[in-house]
Structure formats: structure tokens, C-alpha cells
Amino acid sequence: MATAADTAAKETVKTAEKVKATTEQYTTAGAKAFKDGVEKSLAGLNEMNTVSKQNLEALVASATATAKGAESLGAHAMAYSKSAVEKHVEAAKAFTSARSLQEVIELQSTYAKSAMETYMAEMNRASEIFSSTVKGAFRPLNERATAMVETLQAAR
């Protein structure tokens, strides 16, 4: 017959086995939860890294477009300035070779009208270059902002 000590020992062994099994379950579940959490964190970090890289690329593209636009605008301004000076010198030579005050006034009127028309055309062209530069510089930034909004809306 089993003694009370034997019964108690058997119950202790059963309880120890149950505690061991429960501990193993919790350890396995905890390890899985930890692994899942680390994997989600790494996935999130990878996604943030990708987004950051795309944002940096957009900034570089924007800066490049701005630099090209500034270069184009500067080249345009230099060409206009050179042309304006040449035309001014030509007009001055024409003024000095005029034979009468009436001819000087006519030359001056023609020159002033031509200079103003040229100036307005050049300002329109400069405005177009500037507008194109602004659009080109903001395009990559707008694309990134749109992508971020779409990502945030998809996460809802």
C-alpha cells in the first residue's frame, strides 16, 4: 500500500511536471512574442530607412533642379546683358552720327521702343525659366508628400 509519503511524493512530481510544462509554454510563447516584436521592429526600421532614403533623394533632386534653374537664369541674364550693352553701344554710335536733332530724337525713340520690347520679352522669358525652375524643384518634394499622405491613409 502506498503510504502518505509516497502519495505526496507522486503529487509533488505531478505538480512539478505541470509547473515545468506551463513554464515551457510561457517561455516558448514569450520567445515567440519577442521574436515577432523584433521582426516587426526591424521591418519598421527598414521601412523608415527606405522612406528616409526616398526623402533624401527627393531633396537632392529638388536641389539639383534648383541649381540648374539658377544656372539657366544666370546664363540668360548674362546673354541679355551682353546683348543690351552691344545694342546700347550701337545706339550711341548712331546718335553721334546723326545729322540733326530731329534724327537724334527719332533714333532715341526707336531705340527706347526696341529696348523696352526686348526688355519685356526677356523678363517674360526669365519668368518662364523661374516658373519652370520652381515647378521642377517642388515636383520631387510634392511626390514624396503625396506618397506619405497615401501611406498614412492606408495605415488607417
Closest CA to 57 of 147, 133, 131, 135: 147
Instruction: Give CA–CA dist 154/141, Å, rounded.
Output: 20
What is the chain's mean pLDDT, rounded?
Answer: 90
**What would the mean pLDDT of 37-42 be, rounded to a whole number?**
90
Q: Looking at the predicted structure, is the pLDDT value of residue 15 above 70? A: yes
Q: What confidence score (pLDDT) does residue 89 get? A: 93
Each residue's pLDDT tens digit, 71-94? 999 999 999 999 999 999 999 999
Whole-prediction pTM: 0.67
Please give the single-letter amino acid code of residue 100.
S
